[in-house]
Structure 1
């Protein structure tokens, strides 16, 4: 499927029904170096199946309250899936994608259920986006608040919160990477919020990260595309630029390289960073595969466990809802891919 490049995103006013990011699809994508990665053939199935294990759903749990652009309370919610099996369940926090415009906690229901049925409590958390006037620091702070909330209420929901994994797709993968790399880094707890962090006394740290086709360097990803796509992505005031610089920005991503570098999870990698699992499609023309490679390489250079899978011919995750492309979802919901995810979780969280 090919599309002409367009303005990076368009969005209706906050709260408008049907708000949807408009996505630039590049005509060409530079290949990445896969010498340190595992290349998988086109994942054609079998697809995952759910229903073998009972799962309890706790919906619309408010984990924090912020202020919206009008100074009104903005509750942030999560949904929690807990398998109906004995004993406390290790926790996985899922961060949905949405181009910095959306953060629908209802995303990826089958994949989340499949992981829950494998023995994990899976929370899907919404976070603030550019429609709420948020920057990446705010969204990371929201994710950490969700983790602290779940640790504080672990006994109520039957959770084992001694080890927590964060799992994200696309923009959610980018934020998950920042959550994993910014342990004890000032400015990533509750910026722009008066008072102490939500649920003080509980940690927002994680012990494992799953990054599916997320960004890392928000400027370098543009360089991997054709000139038309680069021009569209470097317009002033795109949601990506607003997510870095703030909602009223007139800047493009090319106008302040230091601010863009500060938004790159590779900047914060240390030897204490938790292990990572990355996935990327070789034909991803929304977030080029070099983005996960940049982070994977930085992790390896610091001696951090990092595994990167490249799916031959796969595109950018589940675009079926956004672009009417159901085939784009299929490689990401196979037993093979989800098996790598549950295997990684078993290694680092137990089960």
Structure 2
């Protein structure tokens, strides 16, 4: 989905700046460094489960890549509800934070969801300030959903019925990551280099990781509850259903910008919200207008009712298929795979731009295309309504340069004060960029730091004498030029203290 570069840049970064104050509250240096995971009474609790095990560093017990999974009693499979905490992308935690303590908190809502028969997941994600973790954090969210499907039998999850409830930045994360497809491109400002304006030097990255772990599983959701969400043009018929929040008598501010998807509005009746076209982290105990009548209820009760409607019963809609490969450009030919959210779903597809239905060919094995092709596909699952059609456009043309090395995520270690050099390799790349450089060993505003090393934008060599120790995660991008699609890979670099420390 392509917008003007400056408009996309301005929209994303103004919202990030508005969230900095909330981030600062959650990143208070006086907060405890580690919150113990909270079990839910009566559930089978799987605590601090690593959903990206190849990215573990040992710092802070790798809290940022872990989730809690609370399984209700019974054989299952059960629908699954993923809670995503807020904090301005710079704070918060799955087991604590601004909206996660006491009666009416996110934790008490999770307890009620388990009691209602959901597998409840509360997850962490990489945190930093100013959106520097994007788009990696979107990729990681999708990988988390794939992890749950890869382990659906172990955790008694119905893989065809997974929803998310996000608060603040968590709502932005869950919605952006699940509304977008691999066809959609995220425009990223290149790191500042002498002599050019960052607003005019952008790289395009897919919203999904071309090297996604658990590649055999879908990352799509059935539905999302979100108070804060962006990019309304990404909400399309194949997107999850969205429940979002407004004041009484108001329509959502982005209602006219939707790409055709379904958005339901939950109206808050407290007079202080009257006419507000978007609400940000109201308490779950706030009064709202019932979604099924004129009576009054609460945010928590109505959101859980809406989730029941979307995730249980005979009116559930199947999740659209995903297409592979996730990189949509190819040189000569490419083999196409279609993946259903649930293994018992049947996929019907077309490659002639017609709309698929239950009479269209059934996907049984990969097929090869040799020209630009639009693949449309639906999932049909017993007991559910057929899905909307997913659309994947595979374009014949020069693909972005692929980052070939280093192949391992963990780079050779560096040491403070000693010269360090690491070359990255991508045939045909003329522009290199680095984003993130997040110190996973730190908390709060110390996390996004400059360790004292630089990536050369033309050679792809990371070098310098590091000035501070830490465990750094960052993303490397390579492209044939600005305003072109880039390849990207996530890496980890451990910087050891100086010899005399």
TM-score for both structures, normalised by structure 2 = 0.42
Partner of 2:232: 266
Aligned pairs for 1:106-255 (under 5 A) are: 106=95, 107=100, 108-130=106-128, 134-184=132-182, 185=184, 187-190=206-209, 196-212=211-227, 214-216=228-230
Shift in alpha-carbon separation, 1:6–1:202, aligned structure 2, 3 A: closer
Post-superposition offset of 1:19? 8.0
In structure 1, distance between residues paired with 2:107 and 2:236: 33
In structure 2, distance between residues paired with 1:307 and 1:138: 29
In structure 2, distance between residues paired with 1:215 and 1:105: 19
| Secondary structure at 2:286 match in 1 | helix
| Cα deviation 1:80-120 (Å, max 9, x = unaligned) | 11111342111111110011211411232111111121111
Shift in alpha-carbon separation, 1:77–1:134, aligned structure 2, 3 A: farther
Partner of 1:342: 304
Q: Judging by fraction of residues, say which structure has more strand.
A: 2
| Cα deviation 1:174-194 (Å, max 9, x = unaligned) | 11110231133352223xxxx
Residues 1:56 and 2:44 are matched in the alignment: yes
In structure 1, distance between residues paired with 2:20 and 2:163: 34
| Cα deviation 1:58-99 (Å, max 9, x = unaligned) | 11000015478x9x9786000111111342111111110011
| Secondary structure at 2:233 match in 1 | helix
Contact persistence 1:296–1:307 (CA under 8 A): no
Partner of 2:286: 331
Contact persistence 2:20–2:129 (CA under 8 A): no
- Does 1 or 2 have the higher relative contact order (CA < 8 Å, sep 6+)? 1
- How many residue pairs end up in the alignment? 243
Post-superposition offset of 1:133? 7.9
Contact persistence 2:23–2:89 (CA under 8 A): no
In structure 2, distance between residues paired with 1:329 and 1:339: 8
In structure 2, distance between residues paired with 1:19 and 1:165: 30
Partner of 1:101: 90
In structure 1, distance between residues paired with 2:150 and 2:287: 32
In structure 1, distance between residues paired with 2:63 and 2:69: 20
| Secondary structure at 1:122 match in 2 | strand
| Secondary structure at 2:226 match in 1 | strand
In structure 2, distance between residues paired with 1:280 and 1:297: 15
Residues 1:92 and 2:81 are matched in the alignment: yes
Shift in alpha-carbon separation, 1:100–1:347, aligned structure 2, 3 A: same
In structure 2, list runs of 5 or more residues that go unmatched.
1-17, 34-39, 101-105, 186-205, 274-278, 289-295, 314-501
Contact persistence 2:23–2:88 (CA under 8 A): no
Shift in alpha-carbon separation, 1:332–1:54, aligned structure 2, 3 A: farther
Partner of 1:83: 72
In structure 2, distance between residues paired with 1:268 and 1:133: 19
Partner of 1:42: none
In structure 1, list runs of 5 or more residues that go unmatched.
21-50, 217-264, 283-288, 319-327
